[in-house]
Structure 1
Amino acid sequence: MKPTFLTIAFAGLFILITSCKQDAKDLAPKKPNIVFIMSDDHAYQAISAYDDKLIRTPNIDRIAKEGMLFTNASVTNSICAPSRAVILTGKHSHINGKIDNISPFDTTNVTFPQLLQKAGYQTAMFGKLHFGNNPKGFDEFKILPGQGDYYNPRFITATGDTIVTGYVTDITTDLTLDWLQNRRDAEKPFMLMYLHKAPHRSWMPAPRHYKEFTKNTYPLPATLFDDYATRETTAGPAEMNILKHMTLRYDLKITDEVLEELNIEEHLGIGGLNKFNPEQRAEWDKVYGPINEAFKKEYGNMNDSTLMVWKYQRYMQDYLGTIAAVDENVGRVLDYLDNEGLTQNTIVIYTSDQGFYLGEHGWFDKRFMYNESFKTPLLIKWPNVITPGTTEDEMVQNLDFAQTFLEVAGVTAPEDMQGKSLVPLLKGEKEKWDRDAVYYHYYEYPAEHAVKRHYGIATKEFKLIHFYYDVDVWELYDRAKDPQELNNVFNDPDYAQVVSELKDKLNGLRKKYKDSDSLSNQYIQLYKDKGLIEE
């Protein structure tokens, strides 16, 4: 039977409508991909977009050059696992329950990856999560157990564990690129969490960086020999002084044989060297063997000052050596996005789980609300949205990431999230940003490094901190006049009005975020119940 004119007309109309629908679909804006890059303990001082005195990080800097550099980004609780819980949940530690590295993460918390996955995003996580072995909201994950190892690391997957030979920073990137190349669904937007172990203690560089970095000498921090004169009961007792608490064996790679010859007793083994295969150990010994021999010869002539300087230099050589590999590998991922045509519709974030002390106040580690651990690096690029090369000094926190990602994806954030989306700042709409202060609370005491419990408020001009539990001490810092935070002016009559205003503002933030002395006491009782605090 021959087709009638009417049949042909309807067929033509159907094809036209279908074609128009497909064209409209192709023209519809696609949801942005999200690449979240986070390192562990990466100090902003060790990113050359912030300061190039210590190291050049050209690939991380690319994110700032093509996007935005935040100069007032901070964390809500400067310690690894709690920081990550805040990022995932968009809630302060006292709300999500992950107050420290000891307590388990409450898996009934709803995380932003779960919400993005539900909204149609393909999701993946590779690298260091640092709590829990089965993260929710991910189509695929390969994560390090706990702290993980620098060499020949074990990875946890949904189907079982696997050990991969090589250097962890390179391997984490290999896994990430493998997913992007081979299992990414091109029809879906994706959210990728690319999480580095480095530069976490015990700071083991990749072999290709041994020789270069162990020969470097770095400028000494102005506060390396801080005596904590106005902070004797708060900063003074902390156990993270480079001279007193940084170990020669675990941290600085001095061998048992040398320590025995020098009659030095230490209890921590050299972190990670037991993971080497024979070839890796031989390569290590070629460079670190002579360092041990030189130390053996020099040690007898060292006093406290010269030993402090020697330790600082060894610390920086290895710490910054691990960052060199992070920067190279960030470049690999950025290059892939460029080469595959993904850059234009992908927002890329680089940050750390908190800041870190690189000799300031004589310290390593973090935990305090003082600047170097409170402040965290944050660089974001989003083509056609962020003006390249922008610097932003508004006060933002890791608390804000979840709501930012949800808004980027067009997903409504749950009402109980406590942050603020950064999208207005990314778009240059500063008039829509109304935050003038941020809140901080640290809980893990008594514990490693002996940093006392404290909470506080920071504005661009001042920082007010209350240390509690076994002390009752207030500190105030004038951030403009005293950027190194050496002088506690809480009892200075000239600052009485500032103290009064900040206490009122602090009480307002505590009420807003639903924190209180009563809740703090509950967490203290939790420590007592676990036997971490004596009754």
Structure 2
Amino acid sequence: MKKITLIFLIFSGILQAQQKPNIIFILTDDQSYDLLGCTGNAIVQTPHIDKLANNGTLFTNAHVTSAICTPSRISILLSQYERKHGVNFNSGTSVSDTAWKNSYPVIMRNNGYYTGWIGKNHAPIGKGGYNSELMEKSFDYWYAGHGHLGFYPKDNHDIFNDAIAFTQPEIINEGVDEFLDPNARKLKGALHFLEERPSDKPFMLSINFNLPHGASTSTMKQKDSDDTIYKTLYRDLEIPLHKNYIAKADIKTPKLPENLLHVEDRQTGYNYVDTPKDLKERYIRELQAMTGIDRLVGNLTAKLKALKLHKNTIIIFTSDHGLFGGQQGLGGKALCYEQTTHVPIIIFNPNTPKKNRGKKK
């Protein structure tokens, strides 16, 4: 079953349930299938996401239909193929107001859900796209930036200026300012959403990362203010090259025409795959980003339990597409080979019978 259809059917089925569960939908960016412990990565530390898979269902053969951010994310929002919605990264088009009414956030809100959108938005919605403000007005809780966030979102989006943290996963995570005073002001973020949501409504929270996307990992600087995760983790390990990796200098007879390799017209942004040294550095950053994201998932599940919401909250985790890591000498995405279309989908439903948990589909 195609990913976009699967996710939309999940949301539709939820609306038909007698007792409406809460839903948290976590979407990463440029995350290949093999960047989790539960999908076979022996290096990355993702214990909290792995726990979701072990207690839920891991879909091992899920594929996106457009291996690039904007069309893939709109496909998820609308449950439509790119050829239907017609919005691509460089198309200059946006989702119409009429089409947006059939998106999962609008449908959920119209059915009594308190809705939130946190992190990155890379879907132009309404006349004028990102400037229409239709996206912002469609949610009860909005804490996001249009386009790329960078690893340090305050550098790119004013909405994050009041955050205590500086790095992307931690800004998206924030809630009570426990670092300074448990009784101090509450910061915006995923934990804040859970703390402040109305208790008389079910909620639907969409958390959207701009990681481990190259536009964010390229800006990681190992600042003094960065968590140890982003400075030293994985740097003492021998990092293997991806299977079928080939350096650009070693390609004697290209198997694909050069103009095809520039299908994104942004291919140079992924030219770190050209040499083993640069690729290993970027791969370490991707691993670090995944561990940062995993920590947020752990904080979310702990907060749900503290608020006694854990028995009625479904968590869905996936990525908008995968990424080439130098396999056959390729970098970037957009070319719809399995490396770029294959993504994990994890669905954790606390009400699933124990005998059906930990399944792989």
Structure 2: how far apart are the matches of 1:127 and 1:347?
Answer: 20
| Distance of aligned partners of 1:330 and 1:166 in 2 relative to their CA distance in 1, 3 Å threshold | same
Q: Which residue of 1 aligns with 2:214?
A: 201
Select which of 323, 344, 353 maps to 2:320: 353
Deviations 1:407-437 (A, max 9, x none): xxxxxxxxxxxxxxxxxxxxxxxxxxxxxxx
Deviations 1:192-213 (A, max 9, x none): 0011121111412744121223
Structure 2: how far apart are the matches of 1:340 and 1:195?
Answer: 23
Q: Which residue of 1 aligns with 2:298?
A: 331
Q: Which residue of 2 aligns with 1:64?
A: 53
- Asked if the contact 2:321–2:341 (Cα under 8 Å) also holds between the matched residues in 1, the reply is yes
Q: Which residue of 2 aligns with 1:319?
A: 286
- Asked if the contact 2:24–2:207 (Cα under 8 Å) also holds between the matched residues in 1, the reply is yes
The alignment partner of 2:146 has SS state of coil
- Asked if the contact 1:228–1:235 (Cα under 8 Å) also holds between the matched residues in 2, the reply is no
Structure 1: how far apart are the matches of 2:141 and 2:171?
Answer: 16
Are 2:357 and 1:388 equivalent residues in the alignment?
yes
- Asked if the contact 2:251–2:329 (Cα under 8 Å) also holds between the matched residues in 1, the reply is no
Mapping of residues 221-370 of structure 1, within 5 Å: 221-225=242-246, 232-233=255-256, 237-239=260-262, 245=268, 308-370=275-337
Structure index of larger Rg:
1
- Asked if the contact 2:144–2:159 (Cα under 8 Å) also holds between the matched residues in 1, the reply is no
The alignment partner of 2:277 has SS state of helix
Q: Which residue of 1 aligns with 2:86?
A: 97
Structure 1: how far apart are the matches of 2:69 and 2:351?
Answer: 33
Structure 1: how far apart are the matches of 2:152 and 2:262?
Answer: 28
Q: Which residue of 1 aligns with 2:339?
A: 372
What count of residue pairs does the alignment treat as equivalent?
Answer: 302
| Distance of aligned partners of 1:229 and 1:119 in 2 relative to their CA distance in 1, 3 Å threshold | farther
| Distance of aligned partners of 1:71 and 1:229 in 2 relative to their CA distance in 1, 3 Å threshold | farther
Structure 2: how far apart are the matches of 1:32 and 1:230?
Answer: 55
| Distance of aligned partners of 1:341 and 1:219 in 2 relative to their CA distance in 1, 3 Å threshold | same
Q: CA deviation at 1:383?
A: 1.8
The alignment partner of 2:332 has SS state of coil
The alignment partner of 2:173 has SS state of helix
Mapping of residues 382-461 of structure 1, within 5 Å: 382-385=349-352, 387-392=356-361
Looking at both structures, which has the greater relative contact order when contacts are Cα pairs under 8 Å and sequence separation is at least 6? Answer: 2
The CA RMSD over aligned residues, in Å, is 2.8
- Asked if the contact 1:144–1:154 (Cα under 8 Å) also holds between the matched residues in 2, the reply is no
Q: CA deviation at 1:378?
A: 0.7
Specify the code of the residue in structure 2 equivalent to 1:76.
T
Q: CA deviation at 1:234?
A: 5.1
Specify the code of the residue in structure 2 equivalent to 1:388.
R
Q: Which deviates further from its counterpart, 215-224 or 169-178?
A: 215-224
| Distance of aligned partners of 1:107 and 1:140 in 2 relative to their CA distance in 1, 3 Å threshold | farther
Q: Percent identity, please.
A: 27
Structure 2: how far apart are the matches of 1:130 and 1:58?
Answer: 28
Structure 1: how far apart are the matches of 2:258 and 2:60?
Answer: 25
Q: CA deviation at 1:56?
A: 2.3
Specify the code of the residue in structure 2 equivalent to 1:87.
I
Specify the code of the residue in structure 1 equivalent to 2:344.
P
Specify the code of the residue in structure 1 equivalent to 2:351.
N
- Asked if the contact 1:49–1:61 (Cα under 8 Å) also holds between the matched residues in 2, the reply is yes
- Asked if the contact 2:169–2:292 (Cα under 8 Å) also holds between the matched residues in 1, the reply is yes
- Asked if the contact 1:344–1:384 (Cα under 8 Å) also holds between the matched residues in 2, the reply is yes
| Distance of aligned partners of 1:171 and 1:31 in 2 relative to their CA distance in 1, 3 Å threshold | same
Q: Which residue of 1 aligns with 2:149?
A: 148
| Distance of aligned partners of 1:96 and 1:367 in 2 relative to their CA distance in 1, 3 Å threshold | same
Structure 2: how far apart are the matches of 1:147 and 1:66?
Answer: 32
The alignment partner of 2:199 has SS state of coil
Q: CA deviation at 1:137?
A: 3.0
Are 2:234 and 1:216 equivalent residues in the alignment?
no
Structure 2: how far apart are the matches of 1:352 and 1:42?
Answer: 6
Structure 2: how far apart are the matches of 1:230 and 1:54?
Answer: 33
- Asked if the contact 1:143–1:155 (Cα under 8 Å) also holds between the matched residues in 2, the reply is no
Q: Which residue of 1 aligns with 2:169?
A: 169
Deviations 1:141-176 (A, max 9, x none): 1112310121152687xxx84523511110111111
Structure 1 alignment gaps of length 5 or more: 1-27, 253-306, 393-535
Deviations 1:259-291 (A, max 9, x none): xxxxxxxxxxxxxxxxxxxxxxxxxxxxxxxxx
- Asked if the contact 1:85–1:105 (Cα under 8 Å) also holds between the matched residues in 2, the reply is no
Deviations 1:290-319 (A, max 9, x none): xxxxxxxxxxxxxxxxx8221221121112
Specify the code of the residue in structure 1 equivalent to 2:198.
D
- Asked if the contact 2:214–2:269 (Cα under 8 Å) also holds between the matched residues in 1, the reply is no
| Distance of aligned partners of 1:330 and 1:234 in 2 relative to their CA distance in 1, 3 Å threshold | farther
Select which of 184, 191, 201 maps to 1:188: 201
Structure 2: how far apart are the matches of 1:236 and 1:180?
Answer: 48
- Asked if the contact 1:216–1:317 (Cα under 8 Å) also holds between the matched residues in 2, the reply is no
| Distance of aligned partners of 1:155 and 1:112 in 2 relative to their CA distance in 1, 3 Å threshold | farther
Specify the code of the residue in structure 2 equivalent to 1:88.
L
Q: Which residue of 2 aligns with 1:459?
A: none
The alignment partner of 1:192 has SS state of strand
Q: TM-score, normalized by length of structure 1?
A: 0.52
Specify the code of the residue in structure 1 equivalent to 2:208.
L
Q: Which deviates further from its counterpart, 210-219 or 116-125?
A: 210-219
Q: CA deviation at 1:100?
A: 2.7
The alignment partner of 1:49 has SS state of helix
Q: CA deviation at 1:390?
A: 0.5
Structure 1: how far apart are the matches of 2:211 and 2:205?
Answer: 18
| Distance of aligned partners of 1:63 and 1:197 in 2 relative to their CA distance in 1, 3 Å threshold | same
The alignment partner of 2:37 has SS state of coil
- Asked if the contact 1:115–1:137 (Cα under 8 Å) also holds between the matched residues in 2, the reply is no
Q: CA deviation at 1:123?
A: 0.5
- Asked if the contact 1:64–1:381 (Cα under 8 Å) also holds between the matched residues in 2, the reply is yes
Structure 1: how far apart are the matches of 2:214 and 2:23?
Answer: 28
Q: Which residue of 2 aligns with 1:264?
A: none
The alignment partner of 2:143 has SS state of strand
Structure 2: how far apart are the matches of 1:246 and 1:310?
Answer: 16
- Asked if the contact 1:148–1:197 (Cα under 8 Å) also holds between the matched residues in 2, the reply is yes
